[in-house]
A = this chain, B = another copy of it.
Amino acid sequence: MNNRQVVLAQRPVGMVDASTTSIVEGPVPICGANEALIKVGLVSIDPTIRTWMNDAPGYLPAIELGDVIRAGGSGVVVESNTDRYKVGDIVYGMTNWQEWAVATEQNRFTVVPTGLGLDLATVMNVLGTTGLTAYFGLLDIGQFKEGDVVVVSGAAGATGSVVGQIAKARGASKVVGIAGGPEKCAEVVENYGFDECLDYREDHLNKRIRAACPKGVDLYFDNVGGEILDAVLSNIAMHARIVLCGAISQYNSMERPKGIANTSMMIMRRGRMQGFIVFDFAPRYAEAQVELATMVLDGRIAHREHLVQGLEEAPNALNLLFTGGNHGKTLVVVDESVTLG
């Protein structure tokens, strides 16, 4: 038995291509004292992985050349030298893009609760960092209040779709999505229950935001950055909160981004803009997961997973996030025999 890994072969310029990563095979890692060996089932495909491939300062160190690609994932414990995990537990954490992972004191995993009636992909989506990002970004960073007019970019995406649904469930007066193309916009309204969705590929986004939110935007959850952020900024209401979650429009950019020109609106409207990383909320994950699980089970959160088969497809799956070719939370199936329940 070997451990196949996707490693960083060359730092990408723009989109990831065939030269960016390579597959290497090595021995299955040894499970040391206080450690557990995990057979990986699913790995997560997230925009932030693209930022870790750059040799640039970030919230985590850049991935070194030759190192396995850092990523979340889930799997089953097959050997355990710690009381933390039993053989057979389904766990998730930082598996990275590989077939076998080791849980250590430094790299801890969470045991997935069984008996919820949710499949593993759903858990990875809504109860994983994707849904947790939506939850803490909207409620803690955004200080969502009942009656808020909420705008969400990347609204058809895994995080954005959950943001809008939590906002609706908690009494937003209006939830407006921004997404790319008519198909995604329809999905945002029909599947995720947003009141409206604006296609950023069409002209005059600024004016269409104004028409959708004539009294201004109270809370903007930004997954995209750049021109869309600027267009929303010009339409903020008094005391608006802008949650900076991601800037997917810039992760592959080879030019200096165009920049945000409407910062003076932040002064006029006393706006607050705040960036965050979900890892900061780790001590409170359980609190959010209970609520998110309940909302999935009672149907208040609709969700969609985009499964790609085969570890070797992970780099191509990452590109889907930037071309808009994915639908919902993108996961790569490394071993389909790893399932919940």
Contact = CB atoms under 8 A, between A and B. Distances in A.
A261 B256 contact: yes
Contacts of A246: 267
A7 to B, nearest CB: 24
Q: Which of A261, A265, A272, A275 has the most CB of B within 10 A?
A: A275
A270 B259 contact: no
A37 interface: no
A270 B140 CA distance: 13
Given A258-B259, A271-B274, A264 B280 contact: no
Interface in A308-335: none
Contacts of A260: 259-261, 263
A167 B267 CA distance: 22
Interface string A105-131: 000000000000000000000000000
A280 B271 CA distance: 13
A257 interface: yes
Interface string A251-287: 0000011111101111111111111110010000000
Interface residues of A, number: 33
Nearest to A268: B59
Nearest to A269: B275
A270 B275 contact: yes
Nearest to A250: B264
A58 interface: yes
B58 A263 contact: no
Nearest to A265: B275
A225 interface: yes
A52 to B, nearest CB: 11
A230 interface: yes
Contacts of A276: 267, 270
A292 to B, nearest CB: 22
Contacts of A229: 263
Contacts of A59: 267-269
What 9 A-B pairs come out closest when comparing CB atoms? Answer: A259-B259, A266-B275, A267-B275, A260-B260, A272-B274, A259-B261, A273-B273, A59-B268, A247-B264
9 contacts: A230-B259, A244-B267, A245-B267, A259-B260, A264-B275, A267-B276, A271-B274, A272-B274, A273-B273
